[in-house]
Each structure stands twice: as C-alpha cells, then as structure tokens.
Amino acid sequence: MGPGLADYVLTVGKLVSPTGAVPGWVTGVDGNPLAGVLGVGLMGAIVLWVGVDAAAATNDPPHSSPEH
C-alpha cells in the first residue's frame, strides 16, 4: 500500500476534512494529510517502530570493533 492509495482512501472516503485553523504546512498541503509535518512525522515514527522491532527480532548482539 503506497502513499497514493492512502491519499485516495483519505480523499475519496472523506475521512478527514481540513478546517483551515492550522497552517497547511503542519497538517498537509492542499488537504493531503500525508504531505505535512504531521504526516512526515507519523511516517518517520512508523519507520522507527518497524526498524526497532526488526532489530529486536534478529537477536543479534551489537557489533563491536576488535581491540588491538
């Protein structure tokens, strides 16, 4: 599921309706909630969450450089 599909679902499904009370660069450009600071922050949080979860699942100890 790419950002195009998510945007389509939000737009066509009318799941969000911008009120104009907050600037567009915060909530989304042209009513697209994934194109603002909050959308980018949410996507970043998801990436971090998945990355930490994947790292924990591997159970690999951290690599250290050999001592001389």
Contact 18, 31 (CB under 8 A): yes
Tell me what pLDDT residue 61 has: 62
Tell me what pLDDT residue 24 has: 76
Sequential pLDDT tens for the chain (68 residues): 455 677 677 667 776 676 778 787 777 777 677 778 888 888 889 999 988 888 777 766 666 666 65
Tell me what pLDDT residue 28 has: 74
Question: Which residue do the tokens 């924990």 mark?
Answer: 56
CA–CA dist 6, 12 (Å, integer): 10
Tell me what pLDDT residue 66 has: 65
pTM: 0.48
Main-chain dihedrals φ then ψ at residue 29, nearest 5 degrees: -80, 130
